[in-house]
Amino acid sequence: MSGSTDRLRDEFEACFGGLAAIGRDPAGGWTRLAWTDEDRQARAWFESEAAARGLAVDRDPAGNLWAWWGPDAAAGGVVAVGSHLDTVRGGGAYDGALGVVSGLLAVGQLIERGVEPARPVAVVAFADEEGGRFGVPTFGSRLLTGALDPEDVLERADQDGVTVARAMAAAGIEPGEVGPDPARVGRLGAFVELHVEQGRGLVDLGRPVALGTDIWPHGRWRLTLTGEANHAGTTRLADRRDPMLGLAAAVLAARAAATELGAVATVGRVVVGPNSANSVPGRVSAWLDARAEQDQTLDWLVAAFQAAVEDAAGRNGLAVELACESRSPAVELDQDLTARVYACLRADGLEPAALPTAAGHDAGALAAAVPTAMLFVRNPTGTSHSPTETAELDDCLAGVRALAAVVEELACR
């Protein structure tokens, strides 16, 4: 093994380990929700890792952090790489983190080799990608490009009633300043997000790295079923208006529709009132997360879900409310940029596979405004949003080298 490989290995372990030390959840895994103390520590980690490589950091009005290398950003044609620092509750160490760490190390590699950038390069850490606290995924990237209106999101509250505006203010960002940055977006020439794979595609292909082809359309819907809370012993079955029965039918209907349509559907969060073991519940709220290959298929899935819920509500005397909380259309990554990245990686001796993804990403938000590509790194367990999400060190290093080759190709020639 060469000395430079050893050095990169040590550097990766130190850099990745620094971030992985933040937000260890006593309940298991990692929890770094947006604008919490863990998030603040992760941002401080990013600033110090950037500074260690001589990169100046600034923050855009959507709360994202940018570490700069090379010519002044005003020159335009900025080549940006990066991902996000936040996690879901009890998530894994790699989702988001791997892309940010790889971006910093890729630029560090080029600096070390004495490569001169002809265009500005930025490593970006996007804010609140997961939406784990306020239910608004890809918050920072969509706010940045103008796809999200601050008016629509600043008053959203977390489970404790703290609004986005208050949480951002506590992190030092004035709510009045929060918004898009069209000038910054206009200066971007390309965005490449490296991400740990969230499935077993690369394991099956026996390859360490893939290029993304497209991102499935996906969305979240909030279902509220209202019946009547009552005594679990004295209320006759015939007299009950039990919203839990409606929810049970809804969950099974989502699964059946997803199976039939080759899609995926999940009910992973439920709020029950009064949430008492000896009461018939009065109200149940649940969140449907649904993703499909085509927008139309996703529409069919939600329509099937809604029909089943209304049917169950009719039989059980329930009121139904189904509201779409977020919806992201299908995203095709930029073909020309992807072809260029593919050619560059092949020339570098790395033949990447090609994979679509059913997960949302900041790259999906950026793709609407900037030529965007994605790289995936193999994940042996195929799990994500779970502490068992992982990647082999050698594969991570292959990802860093791939990203360095891409930045060199796009910004240094």
Closest contact distance (angstroms) between CB of 209 and Zn ion is 16
Q: How far is the CB of 294 from Zn ion (least distance, A)?
A: 23
Q: 96 or 108: whose CB is closer to Zn ion?
A: 96
CB closer to Zn ion, 96 vs 246: 96
Would you count residue 91 as binding Zn ion (CB under 5 A)? no
Task: Supply the minimum distance, in Å, between the C-beta of residue 342 and Zn ion.
Answer: 22
For Zn ion, give the closer residue by CB, 36 or 87: 87
CB of 195 to Zn ion, least distance (A): 6
CB 109 within 8 A of CB 400: yes
In angstroms, give the least distance from the CB of 87 to Zn ion. Answer: 9
Nearest CB to Zn ion, comparing residues 95 and 334 = 95
Stretch that binds Zn ion, among 94-102, 228-236, 268-276, 307-315 (CB under 5 A): 94-102
Contact region for Zn ion (CB under 5 A) — 34-42, 92-100, 141-149, 386-394? Answer: 92-100
- In this complex, which beta carbon is closest to Zn ion, that of residue 96 or of residue 243? 96
Closest to Zn ion by CB, 49 or 95: 95
Contact letters for Zn ion, residues 314-353 (x by CB under 5 A)? ----------------------------------------
Q: Which is nearer to Zn ion, 11 or 95 (CB)?
A: 95
Please state the three-class secondary structure of the chain as a single string: CCHHHHHHHHHHHHHHHHHHCCCECCCCCECCCCCCHHHHHHHHHHHHHHHHCCCEEEECCCCCEEEEECCCHHHCCEEEEEEECCCCCCECCCCCHHHHHHHHHHHHHHHHCCCCCCCCEEEEEECCCCCCCCCCCCHHHHHHHCCCCHHHHCCCECCCCCEHHHHHHHCCCCHHHCCCCHHHHHCEEEEEEEEECCCCHHHHHCCCEEEEEEECCEEEEEEEEECCCEECCCCCHHHCCCHHHHHHHHHHHHHHHHHHHCCEEEEEEEEEECCCCCEECCEEEEEEEEECCCHHHHHHHHHHHHHHHHHHHHHHCCEEEEEEEEEECCEECCHHHHHHHHHHHHHCCCCCEEEEECCCCHHHHHCCCCCEEEEEECCCCCCCCCCCCCCCHHHHHHHHHHHHHHHHHHHCC
Among 96, 103, 201, 217, the residue binding Zn ion under the rule CB under 5 A is 96
Closest CB 129 distance from Zn ion, rounded Å: 6
> Does the footprint of Zn ion cover residue 95 (CB under 5 A)?
yes
Nearer to Zn ion, 297 or 384 (CB): 384
Q: What's the closest the beta carbon of residue 284 comes to Zn ion, in angstroms?
A: 29
Part of the chain binding Zn ion (CB under 5 A), chosen from 16-24, 39-47, 87-95, 268-276: 87-95
In whole angstroms, the minimum distance from the beta carbon of 377 to Zn ion comes to 12
In the complex, the residues that contact Zn ion under the rule CB under 5 A are 95-96
